[in-house]
Structure 1
Amino acid sequence: MYSLFVFIHIVAAIMGLGATFGFPIIAKSAKTVSQAKHTLELLKKLEILPKIGSVTLLVTGIVLGIMNPSLFGTGWYLISIVLYLAAQVIVIGLLPRKMAEQADILRKYNGDELLPAPYIAIGKQAGKLEGITHALAFLLILFMYFKPF
C-alpha cells in the first residue's frame, strides 16, 4: 500500500509541478493584445493540472508520513513540507492575482495592438515569482530523492 502512495505522489509531482514549468514559456509567447487574451484563457484552463497535482501531493505526502511516522522526525521531510507551503502561497495566492491584473489591463485594449507596458511589467513580476516556485520545486525534488538529513 505504501508503494502505491509513493507512486501516486510521484505522478502528482509530474502532473502538478511539471505543468507549471511550461507556464512561463506559454505566457511569454504572446506579442499582441489578442494573443495575450488567448494565452491567459489557455493558462486558466491549464491551471487544473497543478491544482489537482498540488492537492494530491499534499494529501499523499501527509498519508505517507502517517504510514511511516519516522518521516516526521527527518529534516528533509519537514523542510519539504515548509517549502511546499511556501510554493503554494505563490502559486495559489500571488500568481493568480498577477494574471487577474493582466486580464484587467487587456480589457481596455482590442485586436493586434502591441502589449501595453503595464501588462509587460506585471508579466516580469510574475516571472520572478514563477522562478522562485521553480527553485522551490527543484529543492523539493532534490530533498525527496536524496533525503540528505
Structure 2
Amino acid sequence: MFEILLVLHLLSSIAIIGPAFVIPIIRRSARTLGQLHFAFDITTKLAIIPKIGGAMLILTGVWLMIITKTGMSQMWLNVSILLSLLLVVLIDGWIEPRMTKIIKIISESEDRGNEIPAEFELLTKKILPIETATQLLMIVILMLMVVKPF
C-alpha cells in the first residue's frame, strides 16, 4: 500500500510541476493576437491538471504521514508544507487574479486586428518574477521531498 501511495504522490507532484513550467512558455511563445487566444485556450484547459494534482498530492501526503507515523516530526516536511502554502498563496492570490485581468484585456482586443496589445506585455512582465519565484519554490519543495536534508 505504501508503494502505491508513494507513486500516486509522485505522479501528483508531476501533475503540478509540469504545467507550472510549460504554461508560461506556451503563453510567452505567442506572437500574434490569434496565437495568444489559442495559447490562453490551451493553458486554461491545462490549468485543471495542477488543481487535481494538488488535491491528490495533499491526500496522498497526509495518508503517507499517517501510514509511516511521521506526523509533523520531520523538519524537511514542515518546511515543505510551509513552502507549499506559500506557493498556493502566490498562484491563487497573485498570479491567477492578474491572469484573469490579462485574459479580459485579450478578449477585449479582438477588434484591433492581430497585434498583441502593449498592455499585455506590461502585465506579463509584472507576472514574470512571481512565476519564476513559484517555479523555484517548486524545485526547492521537490528537492526537500527527495533529499530530506534535515
Q: TM-score, normalised by structure 2?
A: 0.91
Number of residue pairs the alignment of both structures matches: 149
Native 8 Å contact 1:105 1:119 kept in 2: yes
Structure 1 segments, 4+ long, off by >4 Å, are none
Native 8 Å contact 1:17 1:53 kept in 2: no
Q: 1:57-103: per-residue Cα shift (whole Å, max 9, x none)?
A: 11111111122233411110001001111111122332221221111
Q: Does 1:83 align with 2:99?
A: no
Residue 145 of structure 1 corresponds to 146
Matches within 5 A, 1:109-120: 109-110=109-110, 112-120=113-121
SS at match of 2:85: helix
Aligned equivalents of 1:128, 1:60: Cα separation in 2: 30
SS at match of 1:31: coil
Give the Å deviation of 1:148: 0.5
- 1:140 counterpart letter in structure 2: I
- For structure 2, the residue ranges without an aligned partner over 5 or more in a row are none
Residue 135 of structure 2 corresponds to 134
Q: TM-score, normalised by structure 1?
A: 0.92
Larger mean Cα displacement after TM superposition, 19-28 or 118-127: 118-127
Q: Does 1:8 align with 2:8?
A: yes
Matches within 5 A, 1:68-107: 68-107=68-107
Aligned equivalents of 1:82, 1:88: Cα separation in 2: 10
Residue 58 of structure 2 corresponds to 58
Give the Å deviation of 1:3: 1.6
Larger mean Cα displacement after TM superposition, 134-143 or 122-131: 122-131
Q: 1:20-65: per-residue Cα shift (whole Å, max 9, x none)?
A: 1101110101122222122111111011111111111111111111
- 1:143 counterpart letter in structure 2: L
Larger mean Cα displacement after TM superposition, 106-115 or 39-48: 106-115
- 1:53 counterpart letter in structure 2: G
Identity over aligned residues, as a percent? Answer: 29
Give the Å deviation of 1:107: 2.6
RMSD of aligned alpha carbons: 1.5
Matches within 5 A, 1:33-48: 33-48=33-48
